[in-house]
Amino acid sequence: MRTGVVARAPGRVNIIGEHTDYNGGYVLPTVLPRETIVELERRDDDLVTIYSTALSSTEASRYRLGDEEPVGDWTDYVRGVTQALGRRHPLGGFDARIESTVPVGRGLASSAALTVAVQRALRERFSLALDDLDLAHIAQGVENDFVGARVGIMDPLAASLGREGEALFVDTRDLTIRRVPIPPGIELVVIDSGSAHRHATGEYNRRRAECEEAAERLGVQQLRDITESDLRRISVLPDTLARRARHVVTENTRVLEAVAALEAEDAERLGSLLNASHRSLRDNFQVSTDAIDALVERLRRQSGVLGARITGGGFGGAVLAVALEGAGRAAADGALDGRRAHQDVVIFAPGGTTARRSASRNGGRPKPFGGVLFGGFECSTHLLRSGRRLDLIASTRHDELARRDYRRLRDLGIHTARDGVRWTLVEPAPGRYDFSSARPMVAAALEAGVRVIWDLLHFGWPDHADPMDRDFPERFGEYAERFAELLRDEGDDAPAVCPVNEISFLSFAGGEAGFFNPFLHARGDDFKAQLVRASTTACARIRSVHPHARLIHVDPVIHVVARPDRPQDVEAAENHRQAQFHAWDMIAGRRHPELGGRPEYLDVIGVNYYVHNQWYYPGGHGSMISPSSPRSRPLHQLLLDVHQRYGRPMFIAETGIEDEARPAWLAYVGHEVRAALRAGVDLQGICLYPVVNHPGWEDDRHCHNGLWDYADDEGVRPIYVPLAREIERQRRAFQELGEEEPVENTEALLRGLDEIGASIAEKTEDSRS
């Protein structure tokens, strides 16, 4: 098994703000759903070997660390990176496998994606103390000094700091950054014009020199210092320089207006700014070509297109159009008119679709979480029957490695996580609070730009609290409110909290069947009522601190039927199946409203799904319904059931499997989730759970169910490469709108899962270890 590290970085498309970055001006790029992925394994010597699957080379390139010289091909970006990093940090040799879907030389920043992805992988492998801004500066230095292209900082910044769904507004003078959410309903259409550019050759560098000369003649440090109000001064310049300056000055204004347009959700305004930008790039900056002008014109004439322009450095490259939701595909086809065969077209809706937003009854609120794939850290703190208390955050060393763990997620393009606060540690004695176990984790997540859904009670509570006591809900509420205050103090302006994890499972396993803490029998209903009261109290307390906090309620979705030969069980099986909804019903105040539930508390629904979530009544050994059985209910149907019942935004809050089955399982879940999306379910994402391998609950066995493994002495967690690859495949399947779902062989997939499911059921019978 390969045990390397994997990192990725996206290409970018610049929405507006072209040739402003090296003039100290403004830019507004967003990440492209195309990326460069680097798999890296350490060697014992100081050799570097680079093998690429997509960057037009069949043989590996080799060189020795310290001997970096430009050789004139794409590997120069890697050579430049190891030279720059090697001067400051001890590196060792490595084998790198590089794969990229960012079109090269098309104005989509393939080189920044490469230099940032390589640095991310090296940072992880050699534990380098570099922050994300360092990566951008180093990447720019590699281009400027090693490759010889005098490019600005925009592209590496977008690759290092950009996140899906947002435009990155950058003032390149002082590197002030603002993340501007892209509203739903806008599609971006990126069409490769078919002709490549190359910055290291003359024209780009010449433009830059012209801008510098214009600034000098105008007596300013950079063209950024000229504003629209002193445009007249420009007219004293020779014609060419005046044109260059006029472009930069007006383009800066257009960027500011584009930010305002995005904030006002004014797509038409955004479109006309793109049109104006193109005219200026064509006539003043003179970086367009006839072929690109013609493509831009054709695009503009298509229905639903609001504006179009050349994007990137110019002299070839790509064209960007802003279109209304649903119009992008036909517009691209119309503009290309049969020429499509050779050209790459990327169509995506960074802010999601309005259709999806209106599918949920609390529509109108922003998309709660970024990205399609999330990562969940197992955080259970329950007590075993033996009296031993688990602390999975500690036993996976996630407490100690939180910063690196969040960064690992982020460097793989995952911006949303589930994690836990350990009440057992936070309240060591009744009424005494100590958040030192949680605060650094909150700070680390904010620093990495990963949004966390915090579980407040993941199966454990302090020894001095009795969940069946009358005052338990209030005590839990108090703790929840204090944690909400901590989030506020740490500057989390978009808090997301899951008060009580899996109320249904916990009340059944711990209150009814007695095999889980607090080991009660036949008191499932009372325990559930207590947990619901605790949860609703926490909801109220959290919202008193953060009126807009997202409240997440997670439970498994299950399917239970009578065995074919036992029709007498039909009703009991159905009652059992219905019970999966009771906790959510109560949180929403639809059932037992005296427990404090309210419709607005059921804000986002998290559903957990594993291969053994379907069984024949009454359950127990050998009762699992195998995935390929006609009695099994496809996951997308289970999701649709929950959607129809509640109409809330949803996500898969836990899913995973062990060992080699991991990629196949994710492929299955992804396939089903897309089917649910097509059926109108407001599904926000899939949380890989756990994202880090952990010791089994009961037996400490090393479960290989995560994406990353136990950390080594240097804090490096080897990644499970086949799952990392499947994640990329899934991401692509979700990202591009309008593409037909590739036909997956669902039958074969399901039969494969049957076997796996059976063996997992054996291993984990009743213990959910």
Whether 155 is a known active-site residue: answer yes
Cβ of residue 26: shortest distance to ligand GLA, in angstroms? Answer: 11
Dist. CA 65–CA 155, nearest whole Å: 26
Residue 131 burial (CB count, 10 A) = 13
With respect to ligand GLA, which residue has the nearer C-beta, 318 or 677?
Answer: 318
Cβ of residue 67: shortest distance to ligand GLA, in angstroms? Answer: 27
3-class secondary structure, 143: helix
Return the residue matching tokens 């020894």: 463
Cβ of residue 151: shortest distance to ligand GLA, in angstroms? Answer: 3
DSSP 183: P
With respect to ligand GLA, which residue has the nearer C-beta, 38 or 154?
Answer: 154
Q: CA 74, 75, 78: angle at the middle one, nearest 5?
A: 120
With respect to ligand GLA, which residue has the nearer C-beta, 117 or 542?
Answer: 117
With respect to ligand GLA, which residue has the nearer C-beta, 17 or 93?
Answer: 17
Dist. CA 247–CA 228, nearest whole Å: 11
Strand 559-561 relative to strand 614-616, pairing = parallel
E strand spans, 490-530? 496-500
Q: CA 73, 79, 81: angle at the middle one, nearest 5?
A: 125
Looking from the CA of 219 toward its CB, the CA atoms found within 13 Å total 3
Dist. CA 682–CA 157, nearest whole Å: 32
H-assigned helices in 129-201 = 132-141, 154-161
Dist. CA 650–CA 686, nearest whole Å: 10
Dist. CA 585–CA 252, nearest whole Å: 52
Cβ atoms of 434 and 395 within 8 Å: the answer is no
Cβ atoms of 507 and 528 within 8 Å: the answer is yes
3-class secondary structure, 115: helix
Q: Nearest-CA neighbor of 109 among 203, 177, 17, 35?
A: 35
Which run of H or E residues covers position 636? helix 635-646
Residue 164 burial (CB count, 10 A) = 21
With respect to ligand GLA, which residue has the nearer C-beta, 111 or 535?
Answer: 111
Cβ atoms of 45 and 19 within 8 Å: the answer is no
Cβ of residue 109: shortest distance to ligand GLA, in angstroms? Answer: 6
The token duo for 428 is 């060591």
With respect to ligand GLA, which residue has the nearer C-beta, 11 or 752?
Answer: 11
Dist. CA 94–CA 75, nearest whole Å: 14
DSSP 601: G
Cβ of residue 576: shortest distance to ligand GLA, in angstroms? Answer: 59
With respect to ligand GLA, which residue has the nearer C-beta, 314 or 477?
Answer: 314
Buried b (16+ CB within 10 A) or exposed e, 633-663: bbbbebbbbbbeebbbbbbbbbbbbbeebbb
Give helix then strand counts, H and E, for the chain: 24, 23
Cβ atoms of 564 and 630 within 8 Å: the answer is no
347 forms beta bridges with 189
Cβ of residue 238: shortest distance to ligand GLA, in angstroms? Answer: 22
Cβ of residue 204: shortest distance to ligand GLA, in angstroms? Answer: 7
3-class secondary structure, 191: strand
Dist. CA 568–CA 572, nearest whole Å: 8
Cβ atoms of 381 and 390 within 8 Å: the answer is yes
Catalytic one among 76, 132, 155, 192? 155
Cα distances (angstroms) measured from residue 356 to each of 359, 367, 683 = 5, 9, 8
Task: Write phi, then psi, for 411 (nearest 5 degrees).
Answer: -70, -10
With respect to ligand GLA, which residue has the nearer C-beta, 313 or 376?
Answer: 313
Cα distances (angstroms) measured from residue 117 to each of 37, 78, 82, 415, 558 = 7, 10, 12, 16, 40
Sign of the dihedral defined by the CA atoms of residues 312, 314, 318, 320, in that order: positive
With respect to ligand GLA, which residue has the nearer C-beta, 21 or 164?
Answer: 21
With respect to ligand GLA, which residue has the nearer C-beta, 22 or 527?
Answer: 22
With respect to ligand GLA, which residue has the nearer C-beta, 22 or 505?
Answer: 22
With respect to ligand GLA, which residue has the nearer C-beta, 152 or 316?
Answer: 152
Cβ of residue 22: shortest distance to ligand GLA, in angstroms? Answer: 6
What one-letter code names the amino acid at 296?
V
Cβ of residue 15: shortest distance to ligand GLA, in angstroms? Answer: 11
The token duo for 234 is 């420009």
Cβ of residue 313: shortest distance to ligand GLA, in angstroms? Answer: 3
Cβ of residue 74: shortest distance to ligand GLA, in angstroms? Answer: 15
Residue 66 burial (CB count, 10 A) = 11
Residues that bind ligand GLA (CB under 6 A): 14, 18-19, 21-22, 109, 151-152, 154-155, 312-313
C-alpha dihedral, 346 to 351 to 356 to 362, nearest 10°: 180
With respect to ligand GLA, which residue has the nearer C-beta, 308 or 716?
Answer: 308
Cβ of residue 55: shortest distance to ligand GLA, in angstroms? Answer: 18
Cβ of residue 150: shortest distance to ligand GLA, in angstroms? Answer: 9
Residue 338 burial (CB count, 10 A) = 6
Catalytic amino acids? Answer: 155
